[in-house]
A and B are shown apart, each in its own frame.
Chain A
Amino acid sequence: DQQVKQNSPSLSVQEGRISILNCDYTNSMFDYFLWYKKYPAEGPTFLISISSIKDKNEDGRFTVFLNKSAKHLSLHIVPSQPGDSAVYFCAASAAADSWGKFQFGAGTQVVVTP
């Protein structure tokens, strides 16, 4: 059962514009959410996280928004840069699991064009 879904497998955006990546989840027990970035032949790298007590978290060019009622989160990258071209995964975990396991979405391939 896929509890975390990223419905857009790919996204192409022009350099300097905003990238918006979306993620939906079904498990209402999830209370901690993260975004990871992955380059080919490397492991995922942590980008930004948000707990369910917040609805927004910002770190430099990256902002994550959480809408608990809609069970939806999004990642905004502004401005997009060529080095942002990668696969982005959202992940979720729950206190009930002691935040011990992350459920990942299938990923969104972002391509930033000049």
Chain B
Amino acid sequence: GQSLEQPSEVTAVEGAIVQINCTYQTSGFYGLSWYQQHDGGAPTFLSYNALDGLEETGRFSSFLSRSDSYGYLLLQELQMKDSASYFCAVGRADKLIFGTGTRLQVFP
């Protein structure tokens, strides 16, 4: 089967760094994506890892290790507006399979 596991909730304070992990049990996928969803909003694309290694986009970085079936999203210099749910997703056969989501709460 295919499954992606994430921690259900993570808390941190403004200015801190937080890492959201994603472990998966699937094969033959194209890459690992991350999406952000604020309460009441729609998922929005954050980053994509086609290859192993680190991808950096501003304050956000994403990492993939296919050999370890593992990836993570790293958020630096946390801001209150980063409070949201974060989903990892693997691409397979033209579709995305989403993880369970991690709710990040940033405190002042």
**Do they bind each other?**
no
B interface residues (Cβ-Cβ under 8 A, vs A): none
- A interface residues, Cβ below 8 angstroms from B: none
